[in-house]
Chains A and B, each alone.
Chain A
Amino acid sequence: MERIPVLRMGSLLLITIQVDMHDKLAMQLQEDVTARIADWGSTGVLIDISSLEIVDSFIGRMLSNIAAMSRVLGAETVVVGMQPAVAITLVELGMSLPGVRTALSVEAGMELLYGAGAGFRTGSDDERDEA
């Protein structure tokens, strides 16, 4: 059965959701994430939903579940890349994704998890580096 791949980057787990998920796939993902955290002792989980065009209450619950389960296992979760249309719809739907931290990009997410300088330096147009 197809699964959503869970990649490892040091102590970080990286998950990119690109398909329209059905229930079994979502359940499998929750299982896989918790198994991997236990296997590898991961401390951070980053879920990239920049390709997800629809987040309904089921997916929302899944994200909250993953965050809650990971926390119990000692890992923090950040969801990144939510599309504007999705955010607007979630607000209208009344979903707040409790327990789920969010960031605009993978880099921002990593910064949230591991502090500044953890990810790639994106470089600022407006700032000059101190000599």
Chain B
Amino acid sequence: MNDLAEVISRNQDEIRSAWIRDMSQSVQRSDLMSKTELDEQCGTLLSAIVAGARSSGPSEISGPGWAQARELLETISASRARQGFSPTEVATFVLSLKQPLFTAIRRDLTKEQNRLFDTVWAATELLDRLALLTTETFMSAREELISRQQQELLELSTPVVKLWDGILALPIIGTLDSARTQVVMENLLQTVVSTNSKFAIIDITGVPTVDTLVAQHLLKTITAARLMGAECIISGVRPQIAQTIVHLGINLEDVTTRARLSDAFALALKMSGRTVVRQATAAAASSAILAGPLAKLES
């Protein structure tokens, strides 16, 4: 099975030139990569392929002997992704190696049909695998970017606000899935600690639907807060949500809920031992306020 390795090794330069020469314009993308860079990349890759094929054979590319080739392809794929190549272009880059490779194999092994066939098969299998590897790397790089952006968006979209000393509000807008709940929960609990707030009002006016899963997520948050010594109040429960909750049989016995944020705030104030007092009369109040600072200005 090391026929392949030897064929490539014997004809390395020729294969490389043919590879580059036959590479279609779209794959070369001379606007993105210089001829010398391309030449170098192809050369290094070919050598790595020879080394890999020599060490553990051409079909199992996850072995240690193929590490160099794998790493190289991953780097090439990632850097081409950054440079603006499409995933097809990157895969074609690898696949276009087939023709020069087959030509070399046929020339070297023309007298031995069986070996010829086996080597061609090994070559095509190998290049297919390598091409798929580049696609996978491309995808995971993209996925990482998306998830990083998602994370940032999550963190930005659920701010925790302080309503009063020891009372926080968390207005949630949009759907609550598992990932978002994690971020929301961590953010809220962290703020509870840093502001030493015993009360947290979670307002779900902006949450379109509350199903069993969402309810579970909310309950987890409330339980965690309670474990830490803080209390949560859920507000913004719309009539439809109330109906859904009852229909689904979700148990909210241990949870304090209010229809409006203002009701929840009033409750939190009361639970923290505070009363809001209106001054005697409006007129008396405003003249009292004016008397102070303005009086000083006038004198």
Interface residues of A (CB under 8 A from B): 80, 82-85, 87-88, 90-92, 96-97, 102-105, 108-109, 116, 122, 124-127
Contact = CB atoms under 8 A, between A and B. Distances in A.
B224 A108 contact: no
13 contacts: A80-B229, A83-B193, A84-B186, A84-B192, A84-B193, A85-B186, A87-B224, A97-B227, A104-B192, A124-B165, A124-B166, A126-B164, A127-B165
Contacts of B226: 102
Counting from the closest, the 7 A-B pairs by CB-CB distance are: A84-B189, A102-B229, A103-B229, A87-B224, A124-B165, A104-B229, A87-B227
Most chain A CB within 10 A, of B186, B192, B193, is at: B193
A90 B226 CA distance: 11
Contacts, number: 60
Tell me the dominant secondary structure on chain B's binding face: helix
B164 A91 contact: no
A88 B229 contact: no
Interface string B183-226: 00110011011001110000000000000000000001001111
A102 B165 contact: no
Contacts of A109: 229
B110 to A, nearest CB: 65
Most chain B CB within 10 A, of A88, A116, A124, A126, is at: A88
A75 B228 CA distance: 21
B189 A87 contact: yes
Nearest to B273: A116
Interface in B125-179: 164-166
